[in-house]
Chain A
């Protein structure tokens, strides 16, 4: 086709232990919004990182405007005219909007090392006008909302005269009205001839915004279709392929009536507003909502990681005063952070040390020394119980896969005899196979009588795993859904129900 701007064929990328991309292709035309869909771990982000020069491809070819090109680094990709807005923004919070957009290529005055601040601001104003964004270029980025920060990223990507603009899950953290704004801007850019690659998890957005859809699965290319020719269920079945997500929930039914954790009127500033709920023994309670809805904040407050303003917490019927995580652990609460690398595991330490980390007291002998034999056998037990794949006990945790790291954290909390477990995005950044193992593990734990709160932004995951679902929006609980009545649409309605 003559107006094809970007054509990618036979791309292959191998990471240690994982074949991330295998014979992937993608073809994007000028002036189209080309959606790229697939489950987590399908390889979308890896493919985009190859296009933007973050990773090097192992095989395959990339054609840009009909010529084969090699993309060496992010600079060469930018100069070619490929812009990207990552899910995690790359902004400098202390700098202004204009300073962020022109970082690394500031307009200079006649004396070369002096900045021309007027020109930076003027050029930024022009860019912002182009996408109809009413924003002072001199505003500090840290004072902007997430949606506005994203617009700044888009403006920055456009400032390179990008002809291909990649948006990686741009709506993940936005409200309905903000999404409308974003879509308006995206359509305008398309009408100006920009090719847009739109990565999303939200199937319902495809009909609204995309012209064509390419589906990826497990690092492979599945198909490209015109959005208007396909039904949503066709696209979903292409994404899922061999059934990894069973449609019906596979949760154990033995959630009892015994309440193990009760929270009454929890408040913290503007992030937690009047949150009350009960967690039953053996229950998996799903917390759904958009990013920033306050789910993580609630669990962190209960766990004693953040202070809260008011509210009462009851554990197994007793009112408790949790001031720090160590209080929570003593009461049998364990917390698995969404950010494993920062809060979950000690990456530089080995498997054994991580597993016994929260329960050291159990392993001290009468002199106060650590009893290595005991820690070793406890670790061995966990490795067997959770089927952790590690060459040895003394393997450093940073060398293991995300799924195995997650299991080690679970092992740590089980070793510490906790029976109320908070899982914050337990499958984030874990590949599909390991995901189902984590699901099985959660089910087994619940079946044994452990009580679980699972925070997840993936609706299929929430629907499949939870006995009950609590939906939050802007710090409030906006809905509680019982099994059978929950659907993706209902959750999204509650998740965007603002005051």
Chain B
């Protein structure tokens, strides 16, 4: 009876497999190490290339700009893990900051209420996308493209094309720009948001179904998961993070700028993808996304410090995104 393995042999090979499964060479661990290593490498290169890069003010600047794009990217990570996409995050962010401006500056509501209102505005946009996708069966790309245009238009209409300033409420500026031991609040808020998002993904029902939707939606449906409702929940959550990013943005520049935002959509999606979240769904982590967001901002900041013109910055950033995703594809083969 050659060729038939004994039970013991089988157990042994299985044990081997499991061991390999838990080792450092696991694909997702590799991806994060790789991403983290490239972040460090980039940091070293820019430090050597320019004395202005590693100074305190510039690092605070990097941290601050990562806060906004990072919070956006964290929210989108949920959507992308379900194998969906949200093109409206940047403009929803702007819409939320305009609404926060309306609540606080125009309607003179207390700051906490205005902030909460901003979060609700973002959540509602996300919820609307979710309804379009889950109930009306629109492809996520189209649904969120529509919401992107709508939210952008509404921002301009509501603000009357003018920025809304928070001059009467100096405390509002402290939300992002206040510091704890020299670290801006915005950065602390990013880390808090990332930790909460990470816990939602790993510990809660919502997190479990986020992965399930991306892994095999039909199997989840046949197992009795209400896939439509959970999809709406995921997009709503993503919208809420956009709302948070909107509040941070408004607080940081002490005004709601209605024309801002569209370019943030793709930067945030790029951060998520660089961080190892698969556009085909089922896998991804918040830690990866945060690293991805830092890679994006360090890159943009470093290129600016080296006084590379903005138009060339775009070209380089695009190249880096393509390279990161291509490396990921090679690694998966």
Contacts and interface: CB of A to CB of B under 8 A. Distances in A.
B14 interface: yes
B205 A113 contact: yes
Given A74-B224, A104-B223, A498-B4, A92 B216 contact: yes
Interface in B63-99: none
A103 B217 CA distance: 12
User: For the side of the interface on B, what is the size category?
Assistant: 20 to 34
Interface stretch (A135-143, A204-212, A239-247): A135-143
Contacts of B3: 497-499
Contact of B211 (A94, A106, A114, A176): A94
Contact of A90 (B5, B203, B222): B222
B18 interface: yes
Contacts of B215: 92-95
Nearest to A86: B222
Contacts of A108: 205
A497 B215 CA distance: 34
A233 interface: no
A229 to B, nearest CB: 32
A117 to B, nearest CB: 7
B204 interface: yes
Nearest to A143: B21
A92 B220 contact: yes
B308 interface: no
A321 B223 CA distance: 47
Contacts of A114: 203-205
Contact of A75 (B205, B211, B224): B224
Contacts of A104: 220, 223-225
Given A92-B212, A113-B204, A103 B282 contact: no
Contact of B283 (A78, A90, A94, A497): A94
B30 to A, nearest CB: 15
B21 A105 contact: no
A357 to B, nearest CB: 25
Interface string A476-496: 000000000000000000000
Nearest to B217: A92
A94 B203 CA distance: 16
A92 B14 contact: no
A139 B21 contact: yes
A102 to B, nearest CB: 9
Interface in B198-249: 203-208, 211-212, 214-216, 218-220, 222-225
A104 B225 CA distance: 5
Given A139-B21, A177-B4, A177-B5, A92 B219 contact: yes
Interface in A130-171: 134-136, 139-140, 143
B179 interface: no
B304 interface: no
Interface in B1-59: 3-5, 10-11, 14, 17-18, 21
A225 interface: no
Contacts of B222: 74, 90
Contact of B17 (A78, A91, A92, A143): A143
23 contacts: A75-B224, A90-B216, A90-B219, A90-B222, A92-B212, A94-B211, A94-B283, A95-B208, A95-B212, A103-B208, A103-B223, A106-B205, A113-B204, A114-B205, A115-B205, A117-B203, A134-B11, A134-B14, A136-B18, A143-B21, A177-B4, A177-B10, A497-B3
Interface of B: 3-5, 10-11, 14, 17-18, 21, 203-208, 211-212, 214-216, 218-220, 222-225, 282-283
Interface of A: 74-75, 78, 90-95, 99, 103-106, 108, 113-115, 117, 134-136, 139-140, 143, 176-177, 497-499
Closest 10 CB pairs of A and B: A94-B282, A498-B3, A92-B215, A104-B224, A90-B219, A104-B223, A94-B215, A104-B225, A103-B223, A92-B216
Given A113-B206, A177-B5, 12 more contacts: A75-B224, A90-B222, A90-B223, A94-B214, A95-B212, A103-B212, A103-B219, A103-B225, A104-B224, A108-B205, A115-B208, A140-B21
